[in-house]
Structure 1
Amino acid sequence: MNTSRKLFSTILVLLFLTASGFTILNNSTTVNATQWEIDKAHSNISFEVNHFFTAVSGQFNDYTSEVYFDPENLDESSISVDIKVNSIDTDNEKRDGHLQSDDFFNAAEYPSITFESNEIISKGNNNFVAIGTLTIKDTSTDFEIPFTLLGVQDHPMRENTKVAGMESLFTLDRTDYGVGVDDWAATTVVGDEVSVKLALELNSSN
């Protein structure tokens, strides 16, 4: 009987130590990428496209995002953005309305432009590429968004918060996503290449 009790006790102790060791190992190796919130008051999602020979610029004023980013932990880093098409602003109300119509973005049926990263890779010197899926209207394509980490520092006005800056410059072809149909599909009036700039100020939220 004593032998059986000792054996049972030994098994319990071994199970406890094994479980404890596993838990400690997991806790010591689990590192979460920092979550960031975009400070919209100091950020901008803008674009530029030619109308005949002259560049016309605009921006989107309403968007939501989920950003998890750590240069030392890219495996757990990700970027997700949802841009509201009806927030387009080219400083011309009539043109903004036309861009939201069926001729271009068809905001009533496709209210959002989205990007969801699958992977973020480093290119060195604080340059990175977010590889994922860009969806505009009913078209989704593999897409790469290059970006530069401009810097990270303690926020001077928010305790236990860091502030970071990111910038991205890239181009896309509007005709790949059916933005511009019928007479507006031709590129003689509105150019096909759209230059996009993301200037983002972010605050850590964890």
Structure 2
Amino acid sequence: MRNRFQVIGFFLAFLGSNIAFGQTSKIVSGSIDFKVKYILGTCEGTFAAPKGEAIFNEKSPENASFDIKIAASTFETGNDSRDKDMKSDKYFAVEKYPNIHFKSSKVEKKNGQYEATGKLTIRDVTKSVTLPFEAKKNADGTYALASKFEINRLDYKVGTKDWKLKDVVTVDLKAIIK
């Protein structure tokens, strides 16, 4: 009888800890904007909202995790010719590599800001990255997440070295998780 109560107690403690540490949520909306400098100024564009799952609770960031995908084919700059070129094998190769993917392995809070460390995959290249982000709990219980970071496009074989186009791209990612 005592063993049964210990098992039930362990199960309830485990269940309670999962509730306290956060629950799996879906990304319900968001936006992704980017900027890259080129010879004529700055090219600005967007991708469709990220999709995926997240576990997050500001009281226990060490138990958080993110698994986010961005459809590479949703790349838009407002210039049809440029967008078609960027989706080709020369840049994103969206036919072969339809998603940009980030999967966290560690989340922590440092200096009042959160950081998610994990693997970022673009095309057929996967690299470890640490992405800073802010999180705000909304009145409806959702979380608004925002991350602004830079990546070197050449690290992921997005194009080649070109004097007309800078290597570093600034990304501004926003997501609402519920």
TM-score, with length taken from structure 2:
0.89
Deviation at 1:23, TM superposition (A): 3.5
Matched residues in 2 for 1:132 and 1:45: separation? 19
Partners of 2:9 and 2:49 lie apart in 1 by 48
SS in 1 for 2:146: strand
Q: Work out the CA distance in 1 between the residues paired with 2:55 and 2:6.
A: 33
Corresponding residue of 1:133: 119
CA contact (8 A) 2:71 2:99 kept: yes
What's the offset of the Cα at 1:18?
3.6
Give the deviation of 1:203 after TM superposition.
4.5
Aligned equivalent of 1:152 = 137
| 1:148–1:14 distance in 2 versus 1, CA, 3 Å | closer
TM-score (norm: length of structure 1): 0.78
Over the matched positions of the two proteins, sequence identity in percent amounts to 25
Who wins on radius of gyration, i.e. which is larger?
1
Q: Which ranges in structure 1 are unaligned for 5 or more consecutive residues?
A: 1-12, 156-161
List runs of 5+ in structure 2 lacking aligned partners.
none
What per-residue deviation string (whole Å, max 9, x for no partner) do you get for residues 96-124 of structure 1? 10000111111111111100000101014
Q: Equivalents in 2 of 1:37, 1:20: separation in Å?
A: 30
Aligned-pair CA distance for 1:28 = 4.3
The residue number in structure 1 matching 2:7 is 19
Q: Deviations over 1:71-97 (max 9, x none)?
A: 112232111111111110101111110
Which has more helix, going by share of residues?
A: 1
Instruction: Name the structure 2 match of 1:186.
Output: 161
- Aligned match for 1:84, one of 65, 71, 75: 71
Residue 72 in structure 1 maps to residue 78 in structure 2 = no
Q: Aligned-residue CA RMSD in angstroms?
A: 1.9
Shift of 1:24: 4.1
SS in 2 for 1:102: coil
Q: Is the contact made by 1:62 and 1:87 (CA closer than 8 Å) also made in structure 2?
A: no
Q: Counterparts of 1:5-16 in structure 2 under 5 Å?
A: 13-16=1-4
How many residue pairs get matched? 177
Residue aligned with 1:176, SS: helix
